[in-house]
Amino acid sequence: MPQKNLLADKLKSFSKDIILCGLAFAMFLSPMGAQSDEGTYNPDKLIMIGTASRSGSFYPIGQTLCDLINKDRAEKLIRCVSYPTAGSDYNTQAVLFGQLTLGMTRSDIATQEFNNGKDKDNTKGANLRAIMSLYDMPVLVIAKRSLGITDLSQIPGHTLNIGNGGSGQRAIVEMILKSLKFDKSQFTNTTELNTSQMGDAFCDGKVDIIVEALGNPSPFYKRMIEKCDGQMIGATPETIKTMLAKNPSLEALKIKGGIYAGEPNEVLTFGYKAVIVASKQTSDAAVKSIIKSIFDRLDDLKKSDVVLANLEPKKMFTEGIKIPLHAGIDTKNYYK
């Protein structure tokens, strides 16, 4: 079954639970918070943010965003709830299907989905809109140090985690395999674990190679490298050139040396930006309110996570954003 159909099936099964849970939470906080004057569910008042696995960067950042938005709940009667999800690809689809207000995702997935919307048989993606970008997400391949792997060309012949279905992690691995003309059959075994599960499997010696794209420094990477015999595997300039040629939404990135013990040298790789997306159908008023709540407390957001420490308003509305900004965002209010 095509991946989009799998995602659609997951969205159908998940949508009822997520809406009921969100409504219950909002009603618990205030009987007025998620209701219109007529007492029905008001999507402008209940903001649902999709994140990813609890062990990744998206999850705590999504919680922080909701905390900032909820500081205005007494005045605006808005409630924000963040959810752990399958990840970037799932969040993008959930936003388009109206099951999430905001989705944390990768810039390349957002760009691809928007461009796919130009197809007359798949126009939903054209409704995707950018809210802001957050930080670099360099792709990092980590292999057991004892294997002696020094380049991506050497990863076949080992056990590889390809990520859970519907996750950005799965999309990354499939992109690498396709671009470098690798096949799953070239690996001893493949697993389909999420970030938390694959970390445990890597540390237990059940997986040889894992792939992720998190902001740096990352507690997850620190554990994999410093506690579980992991080694960062970089890409050669030729490999990066191939990846960018086959995937125009990627960009060349670097991971500084010295961030993790035992990794003194800079690592060349490729990747994208972490971005937040919404549907065109989300009201301008809701988006304006969300943006104002966040930017009124931008310093708090920057202090909440080391990967957000260098946020700059102009870059948040430009870097990594290759789809239209939501109409509810007036950038002149935040930078000149």
Supply the DSSP symbol for 324: P
Q: DSSP alpha helices (H): ranges in the chain?
A: 3-29, 58-70, 73-76, 88-96, 107-116, 168-179, 195-203, 219-226, 237-246, 284-295, 298-304, 313-316
Q: Report whether pLDDT(17) > 60.
A: no
The number of beta carbons lying within 10 Å of the beta carbon of residue 148 is 9
Residue range 235-251, pLDDT digits in tens: 999 999 999 999 888 99
Residue length of the chain: 336
In tens, the pLDDT along 138-157 reads 999 999 999 999 999 999 99
pLDDT of residue 10 exceeding 60: no
How confident is the model at residue 168, as a pLDDT?
A: 77
Q: How confident is the model at residue 14 (pLDDT cuts 50, 70, 90)?
A: low
Residue labelled with tokens 């990813």: 52
What SS3 state is found at 46? strand
The structure's pTM equals 0.79
In the block, residue with structure tokens 């890597």: 202
Q: Give the CB-side neighbour count of residue 265, counting CA atoms within 13 A.
A: 8
Q: What pLDDT does residue 39 have?
A: 46
Percent of the chain with pLDDT over 70: 87
What are the chain's domains? 3-135+274-333 (3.40.190.10), 138-272 (3.40.190.10)
Q: What's the pLDDT score for residue 43?
A: 73
Residues 212, 195: contact at Cβ < 8 Å?
A: yes
Task: Please give the mean pLDDT across all residues of the chain.
Answer: 88
The whole-number average pLDDT for the span 201-209 is 98
Question: What is the radius of gyration, based on Cα positions, of the chain?
Answer: 20
pLDDT at position 334 over 60:
yes
33 pLDDT exceeds 50? no
Distance CA 336, CA 332 (A): 6
